[in-house]
Amino acid sequence: MRYIRPLSMEDAVGQLASSPGTAAILAGGSDLLVRMKGGFIEPDLIVDIKAIDGLGEIRETAEGFIIGAAVSCALMGESAALKREWPGVVEAAKLIGSKQVQGRCTIVGNLCNASPAADSVPALVAAGAMALIAGPGGRRTAAVEAVPTGPGKTSLAKGEIIEAILLDRRAPRSGDAYLRFIPRTEMDIAVVSAGVNLTLDEQGVVKSARVALGAVAPTVLLVEEAAEALIGRKLDEAALERLAKVCSGACRPIDDKRGTVEFRRKVAGVLARRAATTAYARAGGK
Amino acid sequence: MNFDPRYSGRNFTSVGTRPLRPDGVDKVTGRARYGADFNMAGQLVGRVLRSPHAHATIRRIDTSKAEKLAGVKAVITAADLPDLTDGDAAMYDILDNCMAREKALYDGHAVAAVAAVDARTARQALKLIEVDYEVLPHVTDVDEAMKHTAPLLNDAIFTEGLEEKPAKPSNVTKRTQFGHGDIHEGFGRADFVVERSFKTEQTHQGYIEPHACVANVSSDGTADLWVCTQGHFVYRQHCAQLLGMEASKLRVTSSEIGGGFGGKTHVWAEPVALALSRKAGRPVKLVMTRDEVFRASGPTSATSIDVRIGARKDGTITAAEATLRYSCGPYAGMWAEIGAMTAFACYRLENVRTVGYEVLVNRPKTAAYRAPSAPMAAFAVESAIDELAKEIGMDPVEFRIRNAAQEGTRSSYGPVYGPIGIGPTLEAAKNHPHMKAPLGKNQGRGMACGFWFNFGGQTCTDLNIGMDGSVSLAVGTVDVGGSRASLSLVAAEELGIAYEQVKAVVADTSSLGYNDMTDGSRGTFSSSMATISAARNAIKILRERAAQMWDIPIDDVVWEKGHAIAKGEKYGNLAALSLREIAAASGKTGGPIAGHSELVADGAGVSFATHICDIEVDPETGATRVLRYTVVQDAGKAVHPTYVEGQYQGGAAQGIGWALNEEYVYGKDGRLQNPGFLDYRIPVCSDLPMIDTQILEIPNPNHPYGVRGVGETSIVPPLAAIANAVSNAAGVRMTHIPMSPPRILAAIEAERGGRWSK
Ligand SMILES: Cc1cc2nc3c(=O)[nH]c(=O)nc-3n(C[C@H](O)[C@H](O)[C@H](O)COP(=O)(O)OP(=O)(O)OC[C@H]3O[C@@H](n4cnc5c(N)ncnc54)[C@H](O)[C@@H]3O)c2cc1C
C-alpha cells in the first residue's frame, strides 16, 4: 500500500488516473479508515488531498461559497457567514459523529462515501449545492444529488476528485433546515432525515422549495412533489399535512437493524414537516 | 480462628468518609495497566477463527496452509484442547464454548486459532484455514426454540425437572418451580386480576475494555497468565483444569479492569491463549476485537415471561404467578431459575408460584450480567403490579407498600427474611421530592422495585505492617468499582490509623489463598469482613509486641485509636505506643507484623431498591428522553459513599440503556447484525440526566459494620421503572424491551387504532 500527499490538484488527479491497482482518496478518513480497519477494502494507493493548495479553505465570492474538499465540518461551524446564510447545511455538518469526528470529517467525504444515511447530503441537496469536480479531462460541475448512485457507489470516473462544494448566496426571504432521527442524542446514524430549503415572496407565500429525504431509499431523495405541496402557499396546516403525506409516500425504505419500513415512512413525514416549519421561520415567514 | 462477624453498632472514624481512590490518578493519567497493556519479549499475536454460521457441523478443519505461512508459530483447533473435564458437564460446556468441537453452535463460535509474529500474519493465516461446515437449521428466538418443530441444538438433552422423563429430546434443558400456598384459591379471592406477557431482548454487558490476556507457558510446565478478569483465582482453576495443569503451577495476575459486570467471570480467550503458547513455546497475547466481544462473549438472556397477579379491592395481593423462559445460548444454564427466584421477592405473598424454563438457542453462551436474570423478571412483575394498582385505583407506591415483604416474611423463593430494606426504600421514595415534582405534556412518571440476593463466599486477605508503620493490604477480590479504597478505609478503621497510611493491592494467585471472584456484589462485603478479621489478628500481634516492649502481660494491653495502651492504674506512667513505634521496633521484638485471614463470608444480606423516573415521549416519532432519575437503595453501611453512589448510578445507566435501545439484532441467517457500539446502542453521556441517589443504611446483622453488597441491585428496577414511565407518558402499556422508538411508535399507533400514514 502506497500513501501519497500531493500538493497540487493536477498531481493528485494524475497519480489517481495512472494508478494501476485500487486507489482511494483520503479526506478526513473517518469513513475510509474505518472501512480499512474492518477489512472491507485494502487500497493499493491512498491519495491524501489535505495538503493540496486551497482545499482547506471556505471562500466567499459574489456568487456564493466555495467550500474546499478538505474543509472539516468543525471549520464550517466556525464560519459566521456560512452559518448565517446556510444554517441548515451547517447544522447537518455539525451533526456528524462527535466533536472529535467533526475535527476531521468533510462534507465531500460524507457525500462520496455514498451512504443513504449521510447527514450533510439531504441538506446539500435541498440547498441546491453543486460539486466542482477535477479530473483527467479538466473540470466540470454536477448537482450534488447526481454524485451518489447507490450505497457506496458514485458517478465519479477514475481519476476524478471533488475539489469543492459550491453554494449560492442566500436569496432574500429564504431559509433552510435539516433534521434527522436517531434513537440517541448523538453518535448515531440517521434512521430517517429531512432537509428543506425554501424562499418566500413578500407576502410570505412559498415561491420556491426543495425537500430532500435521507435513509429512506438507496440514495438521498429529492422529492419534487413535496416541494409542490409547499409552493404557492403559506405554511398552513393543510400544506404541512400534504407535505408529510407526500414525503411518507415517496419513501422506499427497508427494514433493518436501525428501523422498520413503517417507522421510516411515518417519521420521514414528521421530520419534513418540522424541518419545513424551521426553514419557514428562518426565511422570516410567520 | 474466633472471628465474630456479627454486627456491632459502633461509631466510625474512617468508614463513611469519601477519600480519593488509590487507583484514581493512574487511571486518569493513562498509567494504569489494563489487560492489553501487558507485553513480553518475543510475544506472539493470537487470533481466533470464528464460525460464520449459527449452527453447523464441523466436518473437517484443514490448517496445513496456515501452518506453512511464514511467521505462523502455532495453529490450534479443538484437537489441541482435548477433553479433560472428566464428566464435569459445566466444564465441558466451557471447553466447547472456548473452541467448538463437533458443532459450531452460534455465529462467532471459535473453531480454530493461530499465533503469529504479527497481527497481519495472524489475520492472513486465519484466511488460510479451511473449515468444511455442514450448515444446519438454527433457532435464535426463545419462544421459537421451545416449539416441538424447532431445530435441536443438542439431541442428548431431555428436559429435567418434569414429573416424568420426556421421551423426546428438547431445547428446554430444565424446568424449575418456586413458591408456596395455593394460587388457585388465591386467584379465587381476587377482585382484580392482571395477566400479561412480556418479552425482553438480549443485551451485552457492554464493558469498554475487550477481553485481553498474555499467556506464557514454559517448557517446564509452569505458566503465567496476565488477564483482565473479575476473578483470577477462578480463571486459574478453569484454565488449569482445561489444560491439564496443576493449579499452583499456573500463576494468574489480574490487570485493572475496564468493566466486567459479570461478563468477565467466564473464560473465553484465556485457555486458547495458553494452548497457543504451549504449542508455540512463546508468550501469546490475545485481545478480542469489539466484534468478537459482541459475537462470542457476554450476553444476557433474551426472555419471554407471562405474569398473573390478583388482588382484592383493598389492595391486598391474593395470588401471584409467573412463567419465565430464558435463553441460555447453546449450553444449559440456570438463568430462568434465578429469574423465577427473584420475580416476586419484594412482596409478602400468601400464594405464589413461579416456573422457569431454561432454553437453548443458537446465540452466544449466556453469561452473568449484574444481578443476572433479575431485571427481566422485575420488568414483567413490576409492570403488572403497576397495572393492577391502576385497576384497583390505588397509588402504585401505596399498593407496593401495602404488599411489601418485611422482617419475618417468607420469601417467594423460600427463605424467611431478616431485617430488610424494601419497606424503607418505598417509604423514602414516597417522600422524595421527585414524586411530587410536576410533569409536563407527553411526560410520564414510573417507579419500580428490585431485589437481589447478594453473595459472600471464600475470601483470603493479608495485612502487612511495614517497619515505618504503613500498612499494605493484599486482597484477592478484583477491584471493579473502588473496593481498594473501601477496604483501605476498613483497615484504617479497625487499626485506628489514617486512610493514607494504608495501601491496598490485588494480589496474584500465587500470593494469596483462593478467593471467589468479584461477583454477586460480594467484593466489598466479603473482603471487608476478611480485612477486619486480618486487622484484628494484626492487632493481637501489635498488643503482644507492646507487652513485650513494656514487659507486662498481654492481657493488660488494649488497642485504642491506633495505639497500644497499658491498662490500669499500675501502668499509669507508661505512654501509649503508636502503631508506628511498635512497627519500628518489630525487628527486635519478633520480626514482621502481619495479620492474615481466611474465611467464608456468610450472610451477605439481601438487597432492595426503589427507582423513580420521568420520561418524555415524542408521540409522533416514539423518541424518548429521560428527564429525571432517582435511585433509593439500602447499602447496609456505605463504607465509601461516593463509590456506593457510583454503583447506584452505573446500574441505573445500564438499565436505562437496556430499557430503551440496547438489543442483539439477528438476521434470518442467524448472524448478529449489530456487533459494534454504533448499532448496539448503549446510552451516551448526553442521553442521561444526572442520576440522583439516596443511600439507606439498614445494617446487615451478619457483618461487623452492617455492610451489604450494593453492586447489582441498581440494575434490577430500571427496566420496569422506565416501562411504567413510558407507558404513562404514551398512554399505552409497553410489554417489549427495549422500548426503541419504532416499538413505541407502533404501540401508540396501534392504541390509537390508527394505521401508518401511507
Ligand atoms: C464515530 C463516527 C461517527 C460518525 N457519525 C456520522 C454521522 O452522524 N453522520 C454521518 O453522516 N456520518 C457519520 N460518520 C461517517 C463519516 O464521519 C462521514 O461520512 C464523514 O463526513 C466522512 O468524511 P471524511 O472526510 O472523513 O471522509 P473519508 O473517510 O476521507 O472519505 C470517505 C469516502 O469519500 C471519498 N472521498 C473523500 N474525499 C473525496 C474527494 N474530494 N473526491 C472524491 N472522493 C472523495 C473517499 O475515498 C472515501 O471513499 C461517522 C463516522 C465515525 C467514525
Average pLDDT (B679-703) is 96
Determine whether the shortest distance from the Cβ of A34 to ligand 1 is under 6 A. yes
B554 touches chain A (CB under 8 A): no
Q: End-to-end alpha-carbon separation of chain B, Å?
A: 76
Instruction: Give bridge partners of residue B24 from the DSSP assignment.
Output: none
Ligand 1, atom 2: closest residue by C-alpha: A97
Sign of the torsion angle spanned by Cα atoms A11, A13, A19, A24: positive
B669 touches chain A (CB under 8 A): no
Ligand 1, atom 19: closest residue by C-alpha: A110
Distance CA B439, CA B448 (A): 18
What is the residue-wise DSSP string for B13-60?
SSTT--PPPTTHHHHHHT-S--GGG---TTPEEEEEEE-SSSSEEEEE
Supply the pTM of this predicted model: 0.96
Short-list B522, B563, B536, B515, CA closest to B463: B536
Name every residue whose Cβ is closer than 8 Å to that of residue A271 and which is 6 or more positions away in sequence.
Answer: A179, A180, A181, A192, A193, A194, B621
Residues of A whose CB is below 8 A from B746? 260, 262-263
- Of B570 and B657, the structure prediction assigns the larger pLDDT to B657
Asked if A147 and A154 count as a contact pair (C-beta separation under 8 A), the reply is yes
The pLDDT tens digits of the residues spanning B233-245 come to: 999 999 999 999 9
Nearest atom in ligand 1 to the alpha carbon of residue A100 is 1
Ligand 1, atom 25: closest residue by C-alpha: A28
CA of A253 to the centre of ligand 1 (A): 22
Q: CA Rg, chain A, in Å?
A: 19
* Three cell numbers, residue B478: 478484583
Distance CA A176, CA B100 (A): 56
DSSP B262: T
- For residue B81, is pLDDT > 80? yes
Sort residue B457 into left (φ over 0), alpha (ψ -120 to 50) or beta.
left
* Three cell numbers, residue B418: 431478616
The pLDDT tens digits of the residues spanning B506-547 come to: 999 999 999 999 999 999 999 999 999 999 999 999 999 999
Three-class SS of B126-177: HHHCEEEEEECCCCCCHHHHHCCCCCCCCCCCCCECCCCCCCCCCCEEEEEE
CATH 3.30.365.10 boundaries in chain B: 24-32+456-601, 432-448+605-758
From first to last of the 286 residues of chain A, give the pLDDT tens digit.
Answer: 899 999 999 999 999 999 999 999 999 999 999 999 888 898 999 999 999 999 999 999 999 999 999 999 999 999 999 999 999 999 999 999 999 999 999 999 999 999 999 999 999 999 999 999 999 999 999 999 999 999 999 999 999 999 999 999 999 999 999 999 999 999 899 999 999 999 999 999 999 999 999 999 999 999 999 999 999 999 999 999 999 999 999 999 999 999 999 999 999 999 999 999 999 999 999 8
Decide the pairing of beta strands A161-168 and A64-68. antiparallel
B442 touches chain A (CB under 8 A): no
The mean pLDDT value of chain B amounts to 97
Specify the 3-state DSSP secondary structure of B445.
Answer: strand
Ligand 1, atom 20: closest residue by C-alpha: A110
The pLDDT tens digits of the residues spanning B184-213 come to: 999 999 999 999 999 999 999 999 999 999
Percentage above 90 pLDDT, chain B: 98
Please tell me which of the candidates B679, B741, B757 has its beta carbon nearest to residue A257: B679
Residue B752's pLDDT is what?
A: 87
Ligand 1, atom 31: closest residue by C-alpha: A109
The pLDDT tens digits of the residues spanning B603-641 come to: 998 999 999 999 999 999 999 999 999 999 999 999 999
Residue B555 CB burial class (10 angstroms; 0-12, 13-18, ≥19)? exposed
Distance CA A118, CA A221 (A): 12
B746 touches chain A (CB under 8 A): yes
Distance CA B489, CA B135 (A): 57
Three-class SS of chain A: CEEECCCCHHHHHHHHHHCCCCEEEECCCCCHHHHHHCCCCCCCEEEECCCCCCCCCEEECCCEEEEECCCEHHHHHHCHHHHHHCHHHHHHHCCCCCHHHHCCCEHHHHHHCCCCCCCHHHHHHHHCCEEEEEECCEEEEEEHHHCEEECCEECCCCCCEEEEEEEECCCCCEEEEEEEECCCCCCCCCCEEEEEEEEECCCCCEEEEEEEEECCCCCCEECHHHHHHHCCCCCCHHHHHHHHHHHHHHCCCCCECCECHHHHHHHHHHHHHHHHHHHHHHCCCC
Residue A15's pLDDT is what?
A: 96
Sort residue B606 into left (φ over 0), alpha (ψ -120 to 50) or beta.
beta
Distance CA B48, CA B66 (A): 13
Q: End-to-end alpha-carbon separation of chain A, Å?
A: 57
Asked if B87 and B166 count as a contact pair (C-beta separation under 8 A), the reply is no
Domains of chain A: 2-168 (3.30.465.10), 192-282 (3.30.390.50)
Residues of A whose CB is below 8 A from B740? 183
Quickly name the fold that domain B432-448+605-758 has. Answer: Aldehyde Oxidoreductase; domain 4 (3.30.365)
Q: Confidence class of residue B757 from pLDDT cuts 50, 70 and 90?
A: very low
Task: List C-alpha distances in Å: A212 to A112, A206, A261, B620, B623.
Answer: 17, 16, 18, 20, 22
- For residue B758, is pLDDT > 70? no
Distance CA B484, CA B40 (A): 27
DSSP B97: H
Residues of B whose CB is below 8 A from A275? none
Residue B623's pLDDT is what?
A: 98
One CATH from 3.30.2020.30, 3.30.420.10, 3.30.365.10, 3.30.1380.10 for B24-32+456-601: 3.30.365.10
Ligand 1, atom 27: closest residue by C-alpha: A109
> Which residue is it, cell 450505497?
A151
Q: Show which residues on chain A lie within 8 Å of chain B, measured between beta carbons.
A: 39, 181, 183-189, 191, 244-245, 248-249, 256-260, 262-263, 265-267, 269-271
Decide the pairing of beta strands B212-217 and B284-287. antiparallel
Distance CA A283, CA A198 (A): 7
Distance CA A157, CA A13 (A): 11
Average pLDDT (B29-45) is 97
**B747: nearest CA partner in chain A:** A263
The pLDDT tens digits of the residues spanning B631-680 come to: 999 999 999 999 999 999 999 999 999 999 999 999 999 999 999 999 99
CA of A165 to the centre of ligand 1 (A): 15
Name every residue whose Cβ is closer than 8 Å to that of residue B223 and which is 6 or more positions away in sequence.
Answer: B215, B216, B217, B245, B249, B250, B251, B274, B277, B278
Distance CA B247, CA B241 (A): 8
User: What ipTM, to 2 d.p.?
Assistant: 0.94
Residue type, A267: V
Asked if B386 and B446 count as a contact pair (C-beta separation under 8 A), the reply is yes
B755 touches chain A (CB under 8 A): no
E-strand spans in B303-412? 303-311, 317-327, 352-359
Name every residue whose Cβ is closer than 8 Å to that of residue B164 and which is 6 or more positions away in sequence.
Answer: none
Average pLDDT (B410-438) is 97
Residue type, B598: E
**B681: nearest CA partner in chain A:** A184
The number of CA neighbours under 13 Å toward the Cβ of A175 is 18
Q: Other CB atoms closer than 10 Å to residue B722's CB: what's the count?
A: 31
Distance CA B37, CA B24 (A): 17
Distance CA B701, CA B451 (A): 18
**A259: nearest CA partner in chain B:** B742
Residues of B whose CB is below 8 A from A186? 684, 686
Residue B756's pLDDT is what?
A: 45
Distance CA A218, CA A231 (A): 27
Q: Please confirm whether the linkage preceding B738 is cis (ω < 30° from 0).
A: yes
The pLDDT tens digits of the residues spanning B373-392 come to: 999 999 999 999 999 999 99
Determine whether the shortest distance from the Cβ of A106 to ligand 1 is under 6 A. yes
* Residue among B50, B291, B621, B664 with most chain A CBs within 10 A, to mutate: B621
CA of A103 to the centre of ligand 1 (A): 12
The pLDDT tens digits of the residues spanning B324-352 come to: 999 999 999 999 999 999 999 999 999 99
Q: Confidence class of residue B1 from pLDDT cuts 50, 70 and 90?
A: low
Distance CA B733, CA A71 (A): 48
* Three cell numbers, residue B533: 478479621
Question: In residues, how long is chain B?
Answer: 758
